[in-house]
Amino acid sequence: MHTLINPALLAQLKDLPLVAKTVAQGFLHGMHASLQRGSGIEFSQYRAYEPGDPLNNIDWKLFARSDRYFVREAMRESNVQVWFVIDASASMLHASQSKNAKKDSWHKLDYAKHLVATMSYLAQQQGDSIGMLGLSSNSTHLLPARAGYQHWQKCVLHLAQLDSGHEFPEFTHIQQQIAKVREHGLVIVLSDFYQQNNEILNALNKLVSPRTDVIGMQLMSDDELTFPYKGRIHFEDRETKQRLTLSSKAAKQSYLQNVQSFNQTLATKLQSLGVEHHLVNIDQPMDKTLRRFLKLRAKPL
Amino acid sequence: MIALLVFLALVIPIGIHLISRSEGKVVLFPFLALLPAQSAASELHIKLRQRWLLLVRLLLLLCAGALVTISLISDWFVELGLNEVVNAQPPAPTVIVTQDWWNTSNEQEKNALKAQLNSDDFEEVESIVFVANNNKNNKGENKRLVRVSSRNFEETFKDESSSDDAIDDTNNSARSTELSNIWSTAQVVAQSIPVDSPLHIYTSNRYSQFVGGASYVRERVVWHISSIDEASQDSNKPTFQLALIGLDLTKASEEQIQRMAQTEIAIRALQNVYPSIVVNKLRSESVSSLTSLSQQYDAIVVDAIDDSEMETVVKVVQVSKLSSSQKAGFVLNLGAAIFKDKQQEYLFFNTWLSAQQIQNSASSAEHLAVSALPESTDSQLKTYLAILLVILFLVERLMSEMRDKQGYTKQNAELGS
């Protein structure tokens, strides 16, 4: 991806697929030189025989015509389903409000939508099936996992229609949807993991299985990480609407300690569940975040 | 009591600034559980806000308090009276009686003075100072102060007016000071009496009593001025003697008669402003020398003769030599010409003009005015305080508006975000 291209700026055009393409195609260069090839139905290319290649892969008809050994390669068929589970609770509407933040900075849900659009594009380019599950107390958006560009477009449409609700729904309400996600594959959960009754971790617990690779992407803003507030402030919880009046100066130290403790606890719990934990700052450019994420996983999607 | 009230008034804005805590911003936060529990200390924490505004408001109240205090104190001294002040810390009054007053006042006025001196208010009279003329023929330029007893003041006055051997009881500064007018006399006397002692001055309304610079007298002065009518005047006690020299009307031309009529009207107008002016009309035929006339008169208005001796005369106004532009403001120009010296003295003591400016201004009629006492420090202070009060009020309004505007902008920004 070209460093001068700002994903946030492109996002202002409200053209989510384009943004996703732009960001994703940038990553494809070098990281995805080609699709994985191997045995399969759909023909990909011929290649010269090399010692060690199975003899039944040699195209004998071509040998008869050219008197040379060629191995027939086909696109590898992928059975991997990539699921994106998006937390659409009210807390995901938080965006940086400090002076340093841009006026039109994304909130967490926006960021999650763009990230999902980008990663799903990468996945569909690889031939993987993509599915999406948006969760809030108001509604659930379930898009079954399918492969192909058209399905990706459908996925983007669902993302655009995804609205936030109040709280993360109780597990009992989303049990059926979670069961559909539990097929073998990769599940990427995008959430801030702010929960009232451990409902997010309960859902994650049900998602984890030997056949499923679950990744938890914890979204946080600069405000939450640095607490730049000043003066006497009435803090209102986005989900519970409770209010707390505090002197920012007095509360800052305790808050930062609490955040650190919360993140450590979350990382420990996710690790115990077998969930890979990634902390994502939504006020940093998305391309950097994606590059770091993919490098850490050290394998293409 | 007033100080206590002012202090209480000062406490109000301090209290308001301590208590008035801004409503605070409302920030939507994703997860309240991460914030520390609300502590009582942070909630009850009291802090002074808007300190500059508080300072301005305190100054505003102080100024208002000072203004009210000064006014009230002045009013109380005047209304509740000297009696209460005397009872609390009796400032003994001092009485100055000029010889001119004694000589010109009638029996009724003298009896009133006697009654006043014998009254309870004047029981503790600090001193009675008699202003005696050393040489009566010298128009009273050389005077001395004689301190007399309140019991036998009448005899002393009589003795003083008839004898030159009176006991001089004044201090050295009084003797060394030239007592040119009643102002300087009061100033000299004031130096030897307590600050809060009221000064009762008995003098006549004779021009010579007041002519010259009006010195500032710190003490409260109570004036008792006897009025001199023209009939009671004699040649030895002149007021402002003005000689108007004119032609015999039977020999004057039409134009000269008209001009002389104008001059008389102008001098009558001046008499309205300066009642002590005594005008003697002289015929030009009877005037042999202006120089000899100047020994008798304070000013001479020449309307008929053109004499080269005029330059030797102290104050002469030759009406025929007034320019046409000066004739336009005839009365004022005539007054300015006659009272040029007095006008210059007035400007010198009451303005910040340079000597050259005074010289120039004296010729201008617009500066003609009756000399007045300099404004007292009380009223000056009141004026300054009132100006300061207005300025502080404007600053306070400005700062308040700016604060409100800032708050409004912040709220808008928050709403926008």
- Taking only the tens place, the pLDDT of each residue in B81-108 is 544 444 455 566 778 887 777 777 778 8
pLDDT number for residue B152 = 56
Whether residue B5 is predicted with pLDDT greater than 60 in this model: the reply is: yes
Q: What is the amino acid identity at position B284?
A: S
Sequence-separated (6 or more) residues with CB below 8 Å from residue B106: none
Closest CA to B349 of B185, B183, B182, B176: B183
- What is the nearest CA distance from A87 to chain B, expressed in angstroms? 13
What's the pLDDT tens digit per position in A34-44? 455 555 556 77
Whether residue B26 is predicted with pLDDT greater than 70 in this model: the reply is: yes
Whether residue A135 sits in one domain with residue A241: yes
Average pLDDT over residues B343-357: 71
Q: Domain boundary residue among A26, A46, A74?
A: A74
B45 contacts on A by Cβ (under 8 Å): 247, 250
Place of tokens 């569940």: A273
Q: Which of residues 240-259 of A touch B (CB under 8 A)?
A: 240, 242-247, 250-251, 254-255, 258-259
What's the pLDDT tens digit per position in A86-105? 998 888 988 887 666 666 67
User: For residue A36, is it within any domain?
Assistant: yes
Residues forming a β-bridge with B199: B94, B221
Whether residue A8 is predicted with pLDDT greater than 80 in this model: the reply is: no
Q: How many CB atoms lie within 10 A of CB B166?
A: 18
Q: Looking at the complex, does the CB of residue A236 fall below 8 Å from at least one CB of chain B?
A: yes
- Select the more confidently predicted residue: B48 or A217: A217
Residue A281 is part of which domain span?
A: 81-298
Rounded distance, CA A39 to CA A36, Å? Answer: 10
Which range of A60-64, A145-149, B223-227, B260-264 scores highest in mean pLDDT? It is A60-64
pLDDT number for residue B403 = 74
Whether residue A278 sits in one domain with residue A220: yes
Rounded distance, CA A118 to CA A131, Å? Answer: 13
Query: For a pLDDT cut of 70, what percent of chain B falls above it?
Result: 52
User: For residue A127, is it within any domain?
Assistant: yes
Average pLDDT over residues B111-115: 78
Task: Among A21-25, A184-188, B163-167, name the one with the lowest average pLDDT.
Answer: B163-167
Contact call for B34 and A232, based on CB within 8 A = no
Which tokens hold the place of B109?
Answer: 């006025």
- What is the nearest CA distance from B41 to chain A, expressed in angstroms? 10
- What is the nearest CA distance from B70 to chain A, expressed in angstroms? 43
- Report the b/e string of A274-287 with b at 16+ CB within 10 A: ebbbbebbbbebbb
Place of tokens 């009872």: B87
Average pLDDT over residues B1-21: 75
Strands A185-191 and A212-220: parallel
Whether residue A114 sits in one domain with residue A194: yes
B31 contacts on A by Cβ (under 8 Å): 91, 192, 194, 237, 239
User: For residue A6, is it within any domain?
Assistant: no
A252 contacts on B by Cβ (under 8 Å): none
Whether residue A50 sits in one domain with residue A182: no
pLDDT number for residue B79 = 60
On average, the pLDDT of chain B sits at 67
Whether residue A293 sits in one domain with residue A146: yes
Rounded distance, CA A223 to CA A221, Å? Answer: 5
Rounded distance, CA A137 to CA A90, Å? Answer: 9
- Select the more confidently predicted residue: B172 or B89: B89
Question: What is the 3 state secondary structure string of chain A?
Answer: CCCCCCHHHHHCCCCHHHHHHHHHHHHHHHHCCCCCEEEEEEEEEEEECCCCCCHHHECHHHHHHHCCCEEEEEECCCCCEEEEEEECCHHHHCCCCCCCCCCCCCCHHHHHHHHHHHHHHHHHHCCCEEEEEEECCCCEEEEEEECCHHHHHHHHHHHHHCCCCCCCCCHHHCHHHHHHHCCCEEEEEEECCCCCCCHHHHHHHHHCECCEEEEEEEEECHHHHHCCCCCEEEEEECCCCCEEEEEHHHHHHHHHHHHHHHHHHHHHHHHHHCCEEEEEECCCCHHHHHHHHHHHHCCCC
- What is the nearest CA distance from A236 to chain B, expressed in angstroms? 5
A239 contacts on B by Cβ (under 8 Å): 30-31
User: For residue A66, is it within any domain?
Assistant: yes
A94 contacts on B by Cβ (under 8 Å): 28-30
Whether residue A191 sits in one domain with residue A217: yes
CB-based contact A70:A48 (threshold 8 Å): yes
- What is the nearest CA distance from A242 to chain B, expressed in angstroms? 8
Query: For a pLDDT cut of 90, what percent of chain B falls above it?
Result: 0
- Select the more confidently predicted residue: B229 or A56: A56
pLDDT number for residue B316 = 67
Whether residue B244 is predicted with pLDDT greater than 60 in this model: the reply is: yes
CA dihedral defined by A220, A221, A226, A230, rounded to 10 degrees?
-130
Whether residue A139 is predicted with pLDDT greater than 50 in this model: the reply is: yes
Average pLDDT over residues A275-295: 84
Rounded distance, CA A168 to CA B317, Å? Answer: 109
- What is the nearest CA distance from A234 to chain B, expressed in angstroms? 5
Closest CA to B101 of B21, B182, B163, B171: B182
A232 contacts on B by Cβ (under 8 Å): 21-22, 24
CB-based contact B97:B202 (threshold 8 Å): yes
Which tokens hold the place of A2?
Answer: 């070209």
Q: Which of residues 189-218 of A touch B (CB under 8 A)?
A: 192, 194
Whether residue A88 sits in one domain with residue A70: no
Q: How many CB atoms lie within 10 A of CB A214?
A: 22
**C-alpha dihedral sign at B395, B397, B403, B406:** negative
CA Rg, chain A, in Å? 22
Contact call for B27 and A236, based on CB within 8 A = yes
What's the pLDDT tens digit per position in A226-280? 888 887 788 888 888 888 888 888 888 889 999 999 999 999 999 998 898 999 9
Whether residue A27 sits in one domain with residue A44: yes
Sequence-separated (6 or more) residues with CB below 8 Å from residue B231: none
User: For residue A161, is it within any domain?
Assistant: yes
Closest CB to B24 among A94, A233, A262:
A233
pLDDT number for residue B170 = 39
pLDDT number for residue A218 = 94
Whether residue A22 is predicted with pLDDT greater than 60 in this model: the reply is: no
User: For residue A4, is it within any domain?
Assistant: no
Average pLDDT over residues A10-24: 46
pLDDT number for residue B373 = 36
Whether residue A189 sits in one domain with residue A87: yes
How far, in Å, are B33, B162, B163 from residue B181 at the CA level? 90, 22, 22
CATH number of domain containing A280 = 3.40.50.410
**Structural domains in chain A (count):** 2
pLDDT number for residue A223 = 87
What's the pLDDT tens digit per position in B279-300? 888 887 777 777 777 777 777 8
B42 contacts on A by Cβ (under 8 Å): 246-247, 250-251
Whether residue A36 sits in one domain with residue A120: no
pLDDT number for residue B378 = 66
Strand order in the sheet with B277-283: B277-283, B240-246, B299-302, B316-318
ipTM entry? 0.73
On average, the pLDDT of chain A sits at 79
pLDDT number for residue A220 = 92
Contacts of residues A224-227 at CB distance under 8 Å and 24 or more positions apart, as own/partner, are: A224/A94, A224/A259, A224/B30, A224/B34, A225/A259, A225/A281, A226/A98, A226/A256, A227/A251, A227/A252, A227/A255, A227/A256, A227/A259
Contact call for A194 and B31, based on CB within 8 A = yes
User: For residue A204, is it within any domain?
Assistant: yes
Whether residue A198 sits in one domain with residue A140: yes
pLDDT number for residue A262 = 93
Average pLDDT over residues B128-153: 51
Question: What is the 3 state secondary structure string of B230-288?
Answer: HHHCCCCCCCEEEEEEECCCCCCCHHHHHHHHHHHHHHHHHHHHCCCEEEEEEEHHHCC
Whether residue A250 sits in one domain with residue A163: yes
B32 contacts on A by Cβ (under 8 Å): 235-237, 240, 242, 244
User: For residue A7, is it within any domain?
Assistant: no
What's the pLDDT tens digit per position in A153-209? 888 888 888 888 777 877 777 877 787 776 667 889 999 999 888 888 888 888 888
Closest CB to A235 among B35, B39, B417:
B35
CA Rg, chain B, in Å? 33
What's the pLDDT tens digit per position in B362-394? 554 333 333 333 445 567 778 888 888 889 888
* Continuous segment of H or E residues that includes residue B302: strand B299-302
B215: confidence class by pLDDT, cuts 50, 70, 90:
low
